[in-house]
Amino acid sequence: MSHSPYIVNVTIQNFEQEVIRRSFEAPVLVDFWAEWCGPCKMVLPILEQLAESYAGAVRIAKVNTEVEQQLASQFGIRSIPTLHVYHQGRKVEEMMGAQSEAAFRAVLDKYVTRASDAQREQALEMAENGQIDAAIELLRHVVAEDPGNHAAAFDLVRVHLGSGDAVIAQAQLEAYPIELRNSDEGQALAREIRFAAVAQDAPDPATLHAALTTNPNDHHARLQLAVLNVAAGQHEQALMQLLEVLKRDPGYEDGAAQKNMVAIFDMLGGGELVSRYRRAMFNALH
């Protein structure tokens, strides 16, 4: 049994207080475990380390599924360890099986309020006001002083990217730990960088529009225009151009239009725009 003040054993009687209500103060990581479970024993020292490291910025709630069978059934626990993250009164994440400390941190840090966040916000304001060099310097300082501030780490990459330097943005992203690069946000950012790198070598939009006016079947020009749209944050315009290529010639450049549409879907993560163009892509292919 842990003696950490940041780890609590949870029952059906105190779940509301220790998980739901506490999650309004700080994220709560709920660990569904059992005595016989080998992987659960592997996770325990990691959870104890996290509890001490976060020092109250994250709380750990442990649910013994052999004792609290009603709770386990209520949450549909079918395998252990299963871990849920609660924030602001609701479940926001679910993890299955043993995880590394870095993997836990990558999830938890999205919900932790950090002292360095004020400097991060200041840097973003600088970037918005065109003070790119100052923003980059401040974000580098934040990342160096607080490596756990993953939001600042990704912001640093985005500021480089927004300044038009995809090469430095790529190098910065590749310098991060693999768990950070392989996170959903890291992979989405990598796709943004790939689009931006291609966009740097593309003709200007006016030239591409002129080419398409002359020849609407200039699929290469249309693909380049879509890439420029993505780099400018004009995702719907990009999807419109890619869908047009898909309708005219789905096999062009080994299905480049479909591949780029899927890359944009993955980058955006979801929403009405993604749903609408997924249906349009399916209809175009069938």
Q: pLDDT, tens digit, for every residue of 154-195?
A: 999 999 998 888 899 999 999 998 888 888 788 889 988 988
pLDDT recorded at residue 284: 93
Between 208 and 57, whose confidence is greater?
208
Task: Kindly name the residue from 7, 10, 26, 40 that is annotated as catalytic.
Answer: 40
Q: How far apart are CA 131 and CA 197, in angstroms?
A: 23
Between 109 and 22, whose confidence is greater?
22
Please spell the DSSP secondary structure of 61-120, one letter per residue.
EEEETTT-HHHHHHTT--SSSEEEEEETTEEEEEEES---HHHHHHHHTTT---TTHHHH
Between strands 59-64 and 7-9, the pairing is parallel
For this structure, is 40 an active site residue? yes
CATH number of 7-108: 3.40.30.10
Task: Kindly name the residue from 12, 20, 37, 103 that is annotated as catalytic.
Answer: 37
For this structure, is 140 an active site residue? no
Percent of all residues in the chain with a pLDDT value above 90, rounded to a whole number: 71
Q: How far apart are CA 6 and CA 54, in angstroms?
A: 9
Please spell the DSSP secondary structure of 119-139, one letter per residue.
HHHHHHHHHHTT-HHHHHHHH
Do 117-196 and 202-285 show the same overall fold? yes
pLDDT digits (tens, 9 = 90+) for 255-272: 999 999 999 998 887 789
Residue 237's pLDDT band (boundaries 50, 70, 90)?
very high
Q: Which two tokens stand for residue 181?
A: 């690069």
Fold of 117-196: 1.25.40
Residue 22 has pLDDT above 70, yes or no: yes
pLDDT recorded at residue 47: 94
pLDDT digits (tens, 9 = 90+) for 67-93: 999 999 999 999 999 999 999 999 999
Tell the CATH superfamily of the 202-285 domain: Tetratricopeptide repeat domain (1.25.40.10)
Domain spans in the chain, listed from the N-terminal domain onward: 7-108, 117-196, 202-285
Residue 1 has pLDDT above 70, yes or no: no
pLDDT recorded at residue 2: 61
